[in-house]
Structure 1
């Protein structure tokens, strides 16, 4: 995974599309969904870590 689009495609693969119009809220929801996918063992530790780094980096950009 290289960017937020890749994270969104990963979520979409599991039937999750997030768009509320509020970028900060979208990122929070994406992080929650990624955590849940990892806890349910749908994604690997590498995918989990990569997705979180991308999401957190984007959160910093918005601050």
Structure 2
């Protein structure tokens, strides 16, 4: 797993499609879903850790982008 797209494809295999029009909210929802899959033992630890790392990194990038535009504090 190397990209957010890879995470989306993994979620898709489990019937989870996330689109709400707010990128930050989508990333947070993906993190919740990944956590649920891991707790349900549907994911191995390495994939879980990489997915969480990718999502949190992307969330930080998105927050910085929104701060730069003055949309969040």
Which category of TM-score, normalised to the shorter sequence, fits these structures? over 0.9
Provide TM-score, normalisation by structure 2.
0.84
Gaps of 5+ in 1: none
1:8 and 2:5 are equivalent in the alignment: no
Provide TM-score, normalisation by structure 1.
0.97
For this pair of structures, how many residues does the alignment match? 63
Q: Which runs of 4+ in 1 moved over 2 A?
A: none
Q: Of the two structures, which has the highest relative contact order with CA contacts closer than 8 Å and spacing of 6 or more?
A: 1
- Deviation at 1:49? 0.3
Cα separation, 2, equivalents of 1:15 and 1:22? 20
> Residue 58 of structure 1 aligns with which residue?
58
Q: Which has the larger radius of gyration?
A: 2
